[in-house]
Amino acid sequence: MHGVLTVDRLEVLVVVDNATDSLSSNPKNVIPEWTGLLTGGRMRIVSGHGTCCAHHGLSLLITARRGSESHTLLFDAGPEGATFLRNAAILGVDFGAVDAVVLSHGHWDHAGGLVAAVRAVADARGAGTPCFVHPGMFAERAMRWPGGQFLPFEPVPSPAQLTEAGAQVVNSREPQLAAGGAFYISGEVPRVTAYETGLPGHVRRSEDGSGWEPDPLIIDERFVSVHVKDKGQFIFSACSHAGLINVLTHARELFPAVPLYGAMGGLHLSGATEKIIPDTIRDLQTFGLQLIAPGHCTGWRALTALAGAFEDALVPSAVGKKYLI
């Protein structure tokens, strides 16, 4: 796609994630939550009232800087509004700077805080900020458990609800550019590997409403790519239901002249997908990534294996962390 900008640098603030970790060591370009709060004058005493809460979900505030300009994209909004707003307030998020909102895919742990996030942006800068979604996100979904019962997911806010909250909804299956081309939002990700076959047990309501039908591919999930000067593509993949290798392969095919530099988000290598950890790590090593920041649904077994394979290139995500790229 023409019109994708190359930015000078990138800042990523983790607003919601499954983990909190201000004690582990980090490279110089990664600032843990407590350090950021302290140096920013936002923490004078260590207290549970003034630090972020971890929750099962993901929300990233991504700021791309190019010369004197900056563009900010909110990538998902976590599982519910209270945690999102609480963490955003503690971290000092400036909603007036948010140029666009992207929902990665139609699951509650990424969309549950979306209405609250859109309202916060609209309150700060007025209605009309683009919110990028995919028409497949609004299907009724559930998980089938080993006992055979179906556990429904909380519905994703509808386009009408998002519009009422103040968004300009962009509902499309096609790739999009946000914030003047600073952010590339992918279309549907082709599935090319033999082992990345989606989420076992994931279902959606059948069109006639009579029951559930298999929906392992979750085809509505998209990734975001940012092209960083002298580094390359940095990829944000919220849950990687398409499979991380499929995501990176597609990003490389889309922009063959722009090397892949790093990837961040949930890798969904937990539970039923733990069996593909060895294949994923084997193929991930072929991309030469300089930074891998897994979080959310990645799982501890995958994190352990990734740490052994990638050593210092692995910097796991945690709520409140800021990555300077």
Domains recognised in the chain with CATH numbers: 6-324 (3.60.15.10)
**Measured between alpha carbons, how far is residue 167 from residues 72, 92, 114, 126, 313 in Å?**
15, 22, 10, 9, 37
3-state secondary structure (DSSP) of residue 182: coil
Residues 6+ positions from 113 with CB-CB distance below 8 Å: 16, 57, 59, 77, 78, 79, 80, 81, 83, 84, 85
Which is nearest to 248 in space by CA: 258, 257, 260, 256? Answer: 260
Whether the Cβ atoms of residue 298 and residue 268 lie closer than 8 Å to each other: yes
Token reading at 109: 């742990």
Whether the Cβ atoms of residue 14 and residue 321 lie closer than 8 Å to each other: yes
Per-residue pLDDT at 21 = 97
**Angle, vertex CA 11, rays to CA 91 and CA 177, nearest 5:** 115
Per-residue pLDDT at 147 = 85
Q: Are strands 224-228 and 183-185 parallel, antiparallel or unpaired?
A: antiparallel
Q: Are strands 129-133 and 167-171 parallel, antiparallel or unpaired?
A: parallel
Per-residue pLDDT at 113 = 98
In the predicted model, residues of the chain with pLDDT beneath 70 are 1
